[in-house]
Chains A and B, each alone.
Chain A
Amino acid sequence: MILLWLIIVPFAGGVAAWILGLRGRGGGSAARWASIAALAVDLALLAAILAGRSAAAGRHGDFFLEARAGWVPQLGISIHLGMDGLSLLLVFLTVFMGIVSVVASWTEITERAGFFHFNLLWCLAGVIGVFLSMDLFLFYFFWEMMLVPMYFLIAIWGHERRTYAAIKFFIFTQLGGLLMLMAILGLYFIHGSQTGAYTFDYFDLIGTRMSSAAAFWLMLGFFVSFAVKLPAVPVHSWLPDAHTEAPTAGSVILAGLLLKTGAYGMLRFMVPLFPDASQRFAPVGMAVGIIGILYGAVLAFGQTDLKRLIADTSISHMGFILVGIFAWNGLALQGVTMQIISHAISTGMLFILVGALQERIHTRDMDLMGRLWEKVPVMGGVAMVFALASLGLPGLGNFVAEFLILLGAFRANPAASAAASLGLIVSTVYALWIMQRVFHGDERTRWTLPDMSVREKGVAAAMIVAIVWLGLYPQPVINEAAPALDGLRRISISGPQAVKIPAPDFRLTAAAKAVPLPAEEDPAFDKKARVVPDISSQKSGEGVNERP
């Protein structure tokens, strides 16, 4: 039930913010505080979950919390929420980024603040729903639901070309979503015709047997949908527009969370549901990722709009995620998790800085900037930290992420890993270039602008702590995600009926880094494993009346 509250609280908070915002004077700050309060409640709920959880209290593997209620029993749809380590991390990230984006846009949004925070919170609620759904219909429901508030955020509070960007964003993601719906339905009917039980339940659908052609097409449906969101290169063109035109909070949520739903979808749904097809598709997937890494960087070089440049670097960073997912081994998946979190923080903070700059000098054109360090040294310092994070400096979170991904990818495909590592070079170039053109170099325009306020410094401090912590001591994150990622890999290696393979120790301790890793690709590793609960026999409780 606590999982449901995690979703309901932001929904209710959004409505409260809207109502409070309707009051003329003071309505705006009431809406902001209401949003903070709702997110704080969510944070408290997460803390309660962390404190009170016992190992494997859920019915399935590594899920320590599950909630389930009937919704449309006629179609086998239920409100099935589940939380494992991966979901927990991502929900935590969502709430954290939510608070950051509310605080960061405290002074930026003056018009219709109530409605703004309504949209913000509903978008966050949708994202949380995506991270918790264990029913494919419910997943699709939240997946589509988070689009509308984001659309409004861009279309109403965005910059110059907001209408164009908002519509493009909406149509791209809508089309991707519908492709996924087709794939979900294909899976639903294949599973239903085999077992007689028509259900959208994730745990029932895992291990569905189907012809390899069918598996390939369904996998492709999921892949395209998630690739649009991620975004991968041929379907990325909505991203620079949407990120650039969105208000700061919108960009932060887009880069920090919405893109990550694509990565999460691949981790949770695409590969476990279609392990063989994904494996066969892996070379293509990795190639798409590598093209994304390099092409995103090339795009970034060509920009004079600072915000668009940062948006393009997201494409590059998301390419690493694609490479890591298709490598599909323990190291790479840990890297993907780290990348999801680190990128949210580093790129999120860069967007906040651009937003702060734009609030002061009303332009994002780098040709008009230069030598700003002298005027805003604190802002320059913060930007330096996150530019370095973005280029993958050791000691900051992104380094750990990209290093793990490359390490994992090397085991799967050395050539791909080598090509992907070029990304580290190009990212150095664009990251330093930002610093050079904005904060150093010639002064092209004589700006007078105040440095960061206390509020902005607070946000920056929190983000710096987070990124440094992730860089120096990522172990808690890795420990949290490890059982969940192992679970996903177990499902996809051997199907639900197989024996449970104990997690090979790939934790990133000093010792483990030095010694060769155990042969984790071998499913026969350690036979004395205990049996996974027989998932396929746990049918949904509701009768299915409609059997097409």
Chain B
Amino acid sequence: MSGPDFLALLPLVLVSAMPVVVMLAIAFFRDHVLAAALTLLGLLVCFASLPFAASYAPRHITPLLIIDNYALFYMGLIFAATFAVAVLSYSYLGMLRVRREEFYVLLLLAAAGSSVLVASAHFASFFLGLETLSVSLYALVSYPSSREKAIEAGVKYLVLAAVSSAFLLFGMALVYGQLGTMEFSGIAEGAAGLRAASPAFLGAIALIVVGFGFKLAVAPFHMWTPDVYEGAPAPVSAFVATVSKGAVFALFLRYFARVDIHQMGSLVLAATVISIASMFTGNLLALLQQNVKRILAYSSIAHLGYLVVAFLASGALRVTAVSYYLVSYFIAMLGAFGVVSVLSGREGDAVDLDAYRGLSSRRPFITGVFSAMLFSLAGIPLTAGFIGKFYVIAAGAGSALWLLISMLVVNSAIGVYYYIRVIITMYSARAEGETAETALSKGAVSLGGGLLLAALTLGLVWLGVYPSPLVSLIQKTIQGLR
């Protein structure tokens, strides 16, 4: 490894160093403010190192890692999202009677794992990143250890993530057995040479798809999602919904970008089925929920289904659509869980939809933010979600995936129902005789949380009105993939 290699690796080195730094700081000065401040500062430094690293990209560093614009773009997304989660966590943890500081170590570890994921070019680094991410998440999900639901969620996540890792490992082993390589580029070449796919190779692909399916929580591998989202602390739910899924999807796209998926009929068929099943499962089950976190969980299942539509498209529009959609989805999900998080009190998270009734008169700002986020998830103009959905449909139409985009259209209409149901609950007046006393936290929104939500809303509207700069940025990331 040469000097420029290290410079290109700088963001990855920094984000891996951060957990150690915070851990040492805690060892000497156990202080919540210090740990949070160090985390936020560290993430800012990592973010600031990205343009610097970009000047040395693209670069293969050892067979394991590739630092290109694509990887750096997603790292930026991961750092920004982790920053938002850390801000939300600060006030959220303030309410809990637990040791708070280690939370940040775990959060940074998870961010480091995700960053490795998006930069990996080899099964080994892929698996390393994934496990770093998953193991930190086990602890994060069950962090408020006095809550039964959190423990339950943590155990569920542990079991299912372990099973899915086993599937992935088995699939990787089969691929290695067939092709004798674990590098993505080598696999792509080997797969192209295979012509008629052997049953073992097909099985390997199937196992890998199942593994990805669990991580992305697409139907029929979605069962864990609502329980985990419900049980986990709201900021962690936000992290699972965004960073963890986004990083895996980015890798998924990179892995299959080199392989012409349309030559593999069975893979296309599987992805089509998964996509349609996810859209319907997510949206139909969300209709039945009374729990805001579960609504968001099912909504995220549906959104991953939409993303698979873009994944199945061909051409350059595919990557743009996926990346744009992920950015808009990140903002909206972070904002939505952020609202849940700032409204949550000591007793538990603000999950009961009834508790949101009449929120608009007491908390106009929070209501506005939450409405904007939900409108974005529903794909209404002036929000990033509108452009994102437009991109996905455009990518699908460009590849003549009419069946999939018709399903997407039907599902958007179903989805609108439960998003606006939440919104209308917030705007409708409380029934006569009912007092304003609810489980929702009555304390003022913390400064950090308020600023964060305002920034997310601004970003959401900005991207919805003026998407062109982000599109240019994303287009710069495409070269590395082809």
Contact = CB atoms under 8 A, between A and B. Distances in A.
A548 B421 CA distance: 37
A151 B420 contact: yes
B45 interface: no
B471 A72 contact: yes
A181 interface: yes
Contacts of B315: 547-548
Contacts of B314: 548
B381 A141 contact: yes
Interface in B112-165: none
Given A145-B382, A163-B428, A186-B397, A170 B471 contact: no
Interface in A472-509: none
Interface string B378-406: 00111000100010011101110010011
A155 B416 CA distance: 14
Contacts of A181: 390, 393, 409
A143 B141 CA distance: 42
A380 B334 CA distance: 56
Interface string B402-446: 100110011011001100110010011000000000000000000
Interface string A86-110: 0000000000000000000000000
A152 B394 contact: no
Interface string A151-193: 1100110000001001100110011001101100110110000
B190 interface: no
Contact of A179 (B395, B397, B409, B416): B409
A74 interface: yes
B199 to A, nearest CB: 34
B289 interface: no
B424 A166 contact: yes
Contacts of A74: 320, 468, 471-472, 475
A145 B395 contact: no
A155 B424 contact: yes
A195 interface: no
A319 B402 CA distance: 31
A141 to B, nearest CB: 5
Contact of B409 (A70, A141, A178, A548): A178
A164 to B, nearest CB: 11
A506 B153 CA distance: 74
B375 interface: yes
B317 interface: yes
Interface residues of A, number: 36
A447 interface: no
A148 interface: yes
A71 interface: yes
A546 B413 contact: no
Given A74-B475, A167-B417, A144 B412 contact: no
Contacts of B317: 546, 548
B427 A152 contact: yes
Contacts of A166: 420, 424
Contacts of B428: 155-156, 163
B398 A548 contact: yes
Contacts of B466: 71
B468 A71 contact: yes
B269 interface: no
Nearest to B375: A148
Contacts of B394: 75, 185, 188
Interface residues of B, number: 38
A545 interface: yes
A373 to B, nearest CB: 37
Contacts of B386: 141, 144
A141 B383 CA distance: 11
A142 B317 CA distance: 24
B420 A182 contact: no
B316 A145 contact: no
B186 interface: no
B459 interface: no
Given A73-B468, A144-B386, A155-B427, A170 B398 contact: no
Nearest to B378: A174
B203 interface: no
A72 B320 contact: no
Contacts of A156: 427-428
Most buried by A among B313, B397, B406, B467: B397
B85 to A, nearest CB: 29
Nearest to A156: B427
A142 B398 CA distance: 23
A182 B409 contact: yes
Contacts of B413: 171, 174-175, 178
A141 B313 CA distance: 23
Nearest to A186: B397
A292 B276 CA distance: 35
Given A167-B417, A179-B409, A547 B424 contact: no
B390 to A, nearest CB: 7
A547 B316 contact: yes
B33 to A, nearest CB: 35
Given A148-B380, A155-B427, A178 B468 contact: no
Contacts of B390: 137, 181
A548 B316 contact: yes
Nearest to B411: A178
B321 to A, nearest CB: 10
A545 B475 contact: yes
Given A155-B424, A170-B420, A185-B394, A175 B409 contact: yes
A178 B375 CA distance: 15
Nearest to A126: B381
Nearest to A546: B316
A163 B317 CA distance: 38
Nearest to A71: B468
A386 B472 CA distance: 55
A179 B467 CA distance: 23
A181 B417 CA distance: 19
A359 B311 CA distance: 55
B353 to A, nearest CB: 14
A548 B395 contact: yes
A72 B229 CA distance: 36
A171 B417 CA distance: 7
Interface in A521-548: 545-548
Contact of B424 (A70, A73, A163): A163
A548 B399 contact: yes
Most buried by B among A156, A182, A188: A182
Nearest to A171: B413
Contacts of B421: 167
A151 B315 CA distance: 37
Contacts of A142: 381
Nearest to B316: A546
Interface string A263-284: 0000000000000000000000
A64 B317 CA distance: 36
Contacts of B468: 70-74
Interface string A116-158: 0000000000000000000001000110110110011001100
Interface string A26-61: 000000000000000000000000000000000000
Given A148-B375, A175-B413, A546-B320, A72 B424 contact: no
Interface string B356-393: 00000000000000000001000011100010001001
Given A175-B409, A548-B317, A144 B393 contact: no
Nearest to B413: A175
Contacts of B399: 548
22 contacts: A70-B468, A72-B468, A74-B472, A142-B381, A148-B375, A151-B420, A155-B420, A155-B428, A163-B428, A167-B421, A170-B420, A171-B413, A171-B417, A174-B416, A175-B412, A178-B393, A178-B413, A182-B397, A188-B394, A545-B475, A546-B320, A548-B399
Given A73-B468, A175-B412, A548-B317, 4 more contacts: A151-B420, A155-B428, A178-B393, A547-B316
**Which 7 A/B pairs are nearest by Cβ-Cβ distance?**
A185-B397, A548-B398, A548-B315, A178-B409, A548-B317, A145-B381, A175-B413
